[in-house]
């Protein structure tokens, strides 16, 4: 996978062809050699949540699409322009599993790489815990193959789709075993 900068052979403002030997580091902005236009590649914001059930299990989704198709994830997704993290989380949970979340608690954030359609995007993933009024009505909807209620303390981290989610699950485990 390639960082977004590697896809810019021409300036998006003046259309000037860019030198082939320019640095293409993902941590650098695009700077046009002709007009000086600068385009920054900041991390995209994403959210995910561990929704608990009374029996101590939490809801995992089995991903229906790439990246990481077939692996376990957490309900969530990208934050749209103009949304808060909490608004995005509520929307994504409704879209993916049909639940209304409540009692959101922030767990932490982790950087991630999200490979999609030949481009590797950097993301900043914000993780929460939550409850739902009736968690047993959850169903697999948009982008979800199936649902798995699992013990967050023992679920195999190798089954989890993204490194940021594995880190969040480790943090959640530390919180649960400390308190």
- Please tell me the distance from the alpha carbon of residue 80 to that of residue 87, in angstroms, as a whole number: 9
The answer on pLDDT for 7 being more than 90 is no
> What digits encode the pLDDT tens for the residues 77-125?
999 999 999 999 999 999 999 999 999 999 999 999 998 888 888 899 9
- What pLDDT was estimated at residue 3? 57
The whole-angstrom separation of Cα 24 and Cα 43 is 16
Report the percent of the chain where pLDDT is more than 90: 77
Residue range 120-149, pLDDT digits in tens: 888 999 999 999 989 999 999 999 999 999
Tracing tokens 């000037």 back to the chain, one arrives at: 16
pLDDT at 11 over 90: yes
For 29-39, the pLDDT digits (tens) are 888 999 999 98
45-57 average pLDDT score: 97
Average pLDDT rounded to a whole number, residues 35-47? 92
- 113-130 exposure pattern, b = at least 16 Cβ within 10 A, e = fewer: ebeeeeeebbbbbbbbbb
Res 1 pLDDT > 50: no
pLDDT at residue 54, rounded to an integer: 93
Domains, in order of start, for the chain: 1-41 (no CATH), 44-178 (3.90.79.10)
């Amino acid at each position: 996978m390639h960082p977004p900068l590697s896809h810019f052979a021409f300036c998006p403002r003046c259309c000037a062809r860019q030198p082939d030997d320019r640095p293409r580091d993902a941590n650098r902005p695009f700077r046009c050699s002709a007009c000086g236009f600068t385009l920054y590649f900041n991390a995209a914001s994403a959210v995910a949540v561990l929704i608990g059930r009374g029996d101590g299990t939490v809801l995992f989704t089995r991903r229906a699409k790439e990246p990481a198709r077939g692996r376990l994830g957490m309900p969530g997704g990208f934050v749209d322009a103009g949304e808060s993290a909490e608004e995005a989380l509520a929307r994504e949970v409704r879209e993916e599993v049909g639940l209304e979340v409540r009692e959101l608690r922030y767990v932490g954030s982790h950087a991630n790489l999200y490979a999609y359609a030949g481009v590797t995007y950097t993301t900043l993933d914000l993780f929460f815990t939550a409850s739902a009024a009736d968690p047993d009505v959850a169903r697999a909807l948009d982008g979800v193959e199936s649902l798995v209620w699992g013990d967050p303390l023992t679920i195999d981290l190798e089954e989890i789709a993204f490194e940021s989610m594995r880190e969040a699950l480790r943090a959640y485990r530390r919180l649960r075993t400390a308190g």
